[in-house]
């Protein structure tokens, strides 16, 4: 099965599914949900590196978040999640016709400032060297990410 996972090509493009054009490297994509203090709460199963963040989010996490976001729970994300739907707050992208309006820049500043502590979750998970350079079957990344989540939670509870 490992060989099948590594040699999988996208039928639409013919490119390797596990190759990320954005990062110019092979790998997988793991979605992370964090609380406002930066504690990771959940990690997704791995998706091929060529999978866009928004596509992975639509498949894995957004259906569970929409009911809460519709009731007013703010869900903050980066610009990669633009168009995610109701209740998902992302910074406004810069338009080529000139600088953003002051109101939009202020909104972006607030979203970024509110998201900053939660970005700590990615840093906490990223400190586990096992996630840095995975040389096993890409499908094993899910188990490694889940283990990193558990170890991070245990480490946080001991402090």
pLDDT tens-place string over residues 66-116: 888 888 888 888 888 888 888 889 999 988 888 999 999 999 999 999 999
Q: Within 10 Å of residue 21's Cβ, how many Cβ atoms?
A: 10
| Dist. CA 80–CA 126, nearest whole Å | 19
Structure tokens at 127: 């400190």
- Whole-prediction pTM value? 0.78
| Dist. CA 124–CA 152, nearest whole Å | 7
| Dist. CA 76–CA 92, nearest whole Å | 12
């Amino acid at each position: 099965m490992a060989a099948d996972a590594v040699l999988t090509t996208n039928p639409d493009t013919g490119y390797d599914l596990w190759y990320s054009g954005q990062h110019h490297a092979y790998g997988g994509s793991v979605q992370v949900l964090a609380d406002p203090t930066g504690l990771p709460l959940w990690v997704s199963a791995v998706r091929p590196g060529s999978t866009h963040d928004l596509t992975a989010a639509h498949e894995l996490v957004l259906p569970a978040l929409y009911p809460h976001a519709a009731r007013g729970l703010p869900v903050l994300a980066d610009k990669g999640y633009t168009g995610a739907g109701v209740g998902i707050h992302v910074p406004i992208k810069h338009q080529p016709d000139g600088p953003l309006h002051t109101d939009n820049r202020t909104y972006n500043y607030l979203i970024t400032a509110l998201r900053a502590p939660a970005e700590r979750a990615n840093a906490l998970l990223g400190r586990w060297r096992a996630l840095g350079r995975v040389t096993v079957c890409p499908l094993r990344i899910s188990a490694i990410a889940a283990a990193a989540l558990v170890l991070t939670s245990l480490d946080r509870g001991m402090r």
